[in-house]
Amino acid sequence: MDDEWFPVAAPGYLERIGASAGHEAFRQASLLAHTRQPWQPWLEKAGLTTQAARRTMTFSDTGFMLDAALRLQGIALGRRSLVHDLLRTGALVRVSEISLHCEQSYYLLATERAAIAPHGRTVIRWIQALCAGSQVQA
Other CB atoms within a 10 A radius of the CB of residue 55 amount to: 16
- Domains of the chain by start residue, with CATH: 4-101 (3.40.190.10)
Alpha helices in the chain (DSSP H): 11-16, 40-46, 62-70, 80-89, 112-116, 118-134
Percent of the chain, pLDDT > 90? Answer: 35
**What is the per-residue pLDDT for 12?**
95
pLDDT tens, residue by residue, 18-34: 877 677 788 788 999 88
**What is the per-residue pLDDT for 10?**
96
Query: For residue 18, which phi and psi values (nearest 5 degrees)?
Result: 70, 35
pLDDT tens, residue by residue, 74-119: 999 998 888 999 999 999 999 999 988 876 656 667 777 777 788 8
